[in-house]
Amino acid sequence: MQIDLRSDTVTQPSAAMKEFMMQAPLGDDVFAEDPSVNQLEAKAAELFGREAAIYCPSGTMTNQIAIKLHTRPLDEVITDKLAHIYNYEVGGYAYHSSVSVKLLEGDRGRLTADQIKSGINPEADWLPNSSLVVLENTCNKGGGSYYNLQQLLDIQRLCKEHSLKLHLDGARIFNALEESKITPKQIGEIFDTVSVCLSKGVGAPVGSVLIGDKKTMKRARKVRKVMGGGMRQSGILAAACIYALDNNLAKLKEDHRRAKTIEESLRSTAYVADILPVDTNILIFRLIEDVSGENFIQYLSANDIKAIEFSPQNVRFVTHLDFTDEMLQKTITVLKSFG
């Protein structure tokens, strides 16, 4: 039995999902004529209570399009230093949009309205113009932390007061919503644009959607095209996303339960120095100094468990749709016998 805890992106489409993909009506989406893509976009927009959405090959692309839409060159994006847009998108904010970032130090990736306020530049010839705030929910590097509604409403109010645009990197928004009990429509009301990955927890093979108002999404189509993201019969992929939204949302709480169970078991081992609180499906823990991260990863690998050393001495596990209770039991057994 091979166990893969490297990411929730490793899931395989189920037989039923593949069957659904094979039945999908297709067309050319660059002409906006793919019925399955159109259906997915309408479904995502409606779910979040917004006018429109656009299907893209990746969450990096939806985030980068959003940054492009909400900024002009010489602007600055305010975000947390753990943000995916800063750490893992190859510096695309500078490359595509010619903007800088103001990095703030939040609580496991979560910013407060007051912190953001302190990050807004005053008007001066020599300062970049603060124009956009990007939040991440859940926050990957924060160990799957999520915002509560009041925190988000406070940030929304601040952004309105200071004419800042507000984008959500919601790669794992459904994991956040499962725990915070916020509705997708509430999220849609708070943010100017929302990026949602279908290739993470909900288990589709490819793609993300960017959601917002009609005018902004019309411009997003142009930006997607210039980035090379205009796809043709992509409905075959969009169909998998429709299937995922219809069938897999309710399963996320199982992923959270399994991550919690691993956390509890790790707490009783001698080789773990500390563990970030497990709020959703991500578990990040630090090994004691005597244990090398590389050796630990190798030990897991020798026992058919794949995991990554997230940063030196820190290991990340991500639970997902293809990680079963049987795999959970085996993982716990392997973890208990290390050392």
8 binds ligand PLP (CB under 6 A): no
Q: Output 50 or 84, the one with its CB closest to ligand PLP.
A: 84
Cβ neighbours for 51, distance < 8 A, ≥ 6 positions apart: 45, 212, 213, 214, 217
Q: Out of 11, 36, 38, 60, which residue is the one contacting ligand PLP (CB under 6 A)?
A: 60
190 binds ligand PLP (CB under 6 A): no
Residue the block writes with tokens 């050393």 = 309
CB of 187 vs ligand PLP, minimal distance in Å? 15
Return the range that interacts with ligand PLP (CB under 6 A); candidates 53-61, 74-82, 115-123, 209-217: 53-61
11 binds ligand PLP (CB under 6 A): no
171 binds ligand PLP (CB under 6 A): yes
Q: Which amino acid is at 321?
A: L
In degrees and rounded to multiples of 5, residue 137 shows phi and psi of: -150, 110
The string of DSSP letters for 19-43 reads HHHHT-----GGGT--HHHHHHHHH
Q: Output 204 or 291, the one with its CB closest to ligand PLP.
A: 204
CB of 226 vs ligand PLP, minimal distance in Å? 17
Q: Out of 41, 75, 80, 169, which residue is the one contacting ligand PLP (CB under 6 A)?
A: 169
144 binds ligand PLP (CB under 6 A): no
Using DSSP bridges, classify how beta strands 314-318 and 282-287 pair: parallel, antiparallel or unpaired: antiparallel
CA neighbor of 136 nearest in space, from 162, 110, 101, 106: 110
Computed on alpha carbons and rounded to an integer, the radius of gyration of the chain in Å comes to 20
Query: Residue 62: how many CB atoms within 10 A of its CB?
Result: 30
Q: Which amino acid is at 57?
A: P
136 binds ligand PLP (CB under 6 A): yes
The string of DSSP letters for 91-128 reads THHHHHH--EEEEE--BTTB--HHHHHHTPPPS-TTSP
Per DSSP, helices labelled H in 227-324 are 235-247, 252-267, 293-302
Q: Out of 14, 39, 58, 115, which residue is the one contacting ligand PLP (CB under 6 A)?
A: 58
CB of 302 vs ligand PLP, minimal distance in Å? 28
Alpha-carbon gap, residue 82 to 79, rounded angstroms:
8
59 binds ligand PLP (CB under 6 A): yes
84 binds ligand PLP (CB under 6 A): yes
Per CB under 6 A, which of residues 199..218 are in contact with ligand PLP? Answer: 199, 208
Q: Output 84 or 165, the one with its CB closest to ligand PLP.
A: 84
Which residue's Cβ lies closest to ligand PLP?
Answer: 59
Residues that bind ligand PLP (CB under 6 A): 58-60, 63, 84, 136, 140, 169, 171, 197, 199, 208
